[in-house]
Structure 1
Amino acid sequence: MKIADKNGKMLRYGMLVPLALMIASVVSSCLSYSNAKTSIANDLNDAMIALVHENSELWTRQDTITALRKMHEATRKPLIYQASDLNFRNSVLKDQAYFTLALVDEKRTAPKLQGNKIASDSIMLVPERAVDGVAIQVQGFADCSMVSVFAASDQTLPSVLFALSILSMAGMFLLPRKVIGLPIALQETELPEMAGIPLHSTEHILDGIKLTPMQRRFARMLLEAPDMRVDKATLCSALWDNKSNAEESLYTLVRRTKTALAETDIEIICNRGESYELRVSG
């Protein structure tokens, strides 16, 4: 398997971490948003109950019912009670919340309000002397936009998860490739197999061996070549630029390099006079 394939697979699996963190951030953000809406609705419920306890006798009087009936016949809209004087846990609701009083009976239903609103539960107030099934429906509403609900929600955990996903994604691309696997120079090539020699030790295999600059250059050409084998023409061209006596010079260089490597585990093999090969044993 090529090194690039291995690193590509590691990168794909590694991307699962920032992806999972991003999904967790979105899910937790939606949950926080939903909890904020529920909290606003509960705040409306508590304020509505307090308001009804304070005004139930006034709102169930016959003159109030008569006024509500006339208003309904004229406007088809409920009576709106502003809630700026009520106490809310979320102080922003003082400017955004209100309550409706609607007359309902067997023939009438509470008018529906249009728009993006958060609604509380409703309370039905039945007058003591009501003979026609008339009741007063009280319900709270808050004109909260998505932005205001989002601002009221606790986004600490989603923000932390989002930051971690960005940092982990950046780390996948910014950290040196050698932290993931191997140096960049080896990413796109398939390294030759060497019996008994760890891959990371090939660049140091000639360390400590006494060689002339030309001998070391020759040995490194073999070491870095595919299968550690190079044909004579390539060696002559690279080492002597195909001079007239290049083959004789190559023969002398090979012989002297063999002598220098005689006491090591490295051997130079001549393949039918066409190429030279480096073999490492031990």
Structure 2
Amino acid sequence: MCTSINSYRCAETAIVQDMNQALEKTLAVKREAWITPDTIQNYREHLRIKDLKSRSFVSYALEKNDYSLCSQRYQWQKGRHSLMFQSYADCSFGTIWGLSDQRLALFLTLSAMLWMLFSVVYWRRNGAGRMFFGSMTYVPLEHSFRDVQGKEIPFTPMQHQLMELFMASGDMKLSKITICESLWPKKPDASETLYTLIRRLKPVVSEHCGLTITAEKGGGYRLKYL
């Protein structure tokens, strides 16, 4: 936005400078005190900005004017005659905008839009649906657990299944019955197996996830922060 406004103001400055030099050259060869068609034609021939030739004109310097763009006041003197001349430009906002160099502003705007689009696409592909807990990231679509460096955490297949049960629970709390029925549905009593699994899983989640597993009252386990 600032770049665009700066380009617009630079265009205004360029217009005024062009009118200044054109009026100065016109008055340097002017012989009569009044403004003639030749005066206007000569002035416009000296203008360098093409679009300004049909929008700018020479006049006697006015105390008040309705034009936002005008040249400096130049004194013309010939014998006893001394007059102040000034040129004006009837340029709308759109005209000045068209004369300004908006390429950088346009480039920055397009770059910002592309970056936003890229960010949205990247988030949808890589961030949407992810779950963050401790220093661990769980990606349901990939069924993967990753550490802060993006590396997959080395869970065993059984540890991996238990961790997915924790992530699916919502409150990171599971009862022994839920775990045993999910992991060992055909085993009558899997309490010892579960105890061994939890004992071996604890150091892994502590080292790679910044988490721990605690026993809950009523016979269950909770995954929580260290």
Normalization by structure 2: what TM-score?
Answer: 0.64
1:81-96 equivalent positions in 2, closer than 5 A? 82-83=40-41, 86-96=45-55
What is the aligned counterpart of 2:79 among 124, 128, 132? 128
Which residue does the alignment assign to 1:221?
A: 165
Long gaps (5+) in structure 2:
137-144, 203-212
SS at match of 1:100: strand
State the 1:101 CA deviation: 3.0
Q: Which amino acid aligns with 1:265?
A: R
Quickly say closer, same or farther: Cα 1:222–1:192, change in 2 above 3 A: farther
- Point out the more displaced range, 165-174 or 80-89: 80-89
Confirm or deny: 8 A CA contact 2:214 2:222 kept in the other structure. Answer: no
How far does the alpha carbon of each residue in 1:57-89 deviate from its partner, in whole angstroms, 9 at most, with x for none?
222xxxx5xxxxxxxxxxxxx989634752321
Distance 1:191 1:275, change over 3 A: farther
Matches within 5 A, 1:26-41: 26-41=1-16
Q: Are positions 1:58 and 2:41 aligned together?
A: no
- Pick the structure with greater CA Rg: 1
Among candidates 189, 192, 197, match of residue 252 of structure 1: 189
* Secondary structure of 2:60 counterpart: strand
**Structure 1 residue 220: Cα displacement:** 5.4
1:199-218 equivalences under 5 Å are 199=147, 201=152, 205-207=155-157
CA distance in 1 between partners of 2:119 and 2:110 (Å): 14
Once the two structures are superposed, what CA deviation does each residue of 1:132-185 show, in whole Å capped at 9, x if it has no partner? Answer: xxx311111111111111111111111111112222233333313685xx6623
Q: Is the 8 A contact 1:192 1:228 kept in 2?
A: no
Assess, with a 3 A threshold, how the Cα gap between structure 1 residues 276 and 164 changes in structure 2: closer, same or farther: same
Q: 1:272 and 1:97 mapped to 2: Cα distance? A: 86
Aligned partners of 2:95, 2:190: CA distance in 1, in Å? Answer: 82
Q: In the alignment, is residue 265 of structure 1 matched against residue 215 of structure 2? A: no
In 2, Cα distance between equivalents of 1:123 and 1:257: 97
Alpha-carbon distance, 1:48 to partner: 0.9
Q: Residues 58, 257 of structure 1: CA spacing in aligned structure 2 closer, same or farther, 3 A cutoff?
A: closer
Note if 1:186 corresponds to 2:131. yes
Q: Which among 58, 77, 80 is matched to residue 99 of structure 1?
A: 58
1:265 offset after TM fit, Å?
2.9
For residues 183 and 250 of structure 1, what CA distance do their matches in structure 2 show?
A: 37
Call closer, same or farther: CA 1:177–1:272 in 2, change over 3 Å: closer
Rounded Cα–Cα distance in structure 2 between residues aligned with 1:129 and 1:278: 103
TM-score when normalising by structure 1: 0.53
Judging changes above 3 Å, is the alpha-carbon distance between structure 1 residues 38 and 234 closer, same or farther for their aligned structure 2 residues?
same
Aligned-CA RMSD value: 4.4
Sequence identity percentage: 19
Structure with bigger RCO (C-alpha 8 Å, 6+ apart):
1
Aligned-pair CA distance for 1:252: 1.8
Structure 1 residues 251 and 117, CA, compared in 2 at 3 Å: closer, same or farther? same
Alignment partner of 1:231 out of 175, 179, 187? 175
Alpha-carbon shift at residue 229 of structure 1 (Å): 5.1
How far 1:96 moved relative to its partner? 0.6
AA matched with 1:165: A
Report which of the two has the higher share of helix: 1
* Corresponding residue number in structure 2 for 1:158: 105
Secondary structure in structure 1 of the residue aligned to 2:53: helix
CA contact 1:232–1:274 (8 Å) conserved in 2: no
Number of matched residues?
199
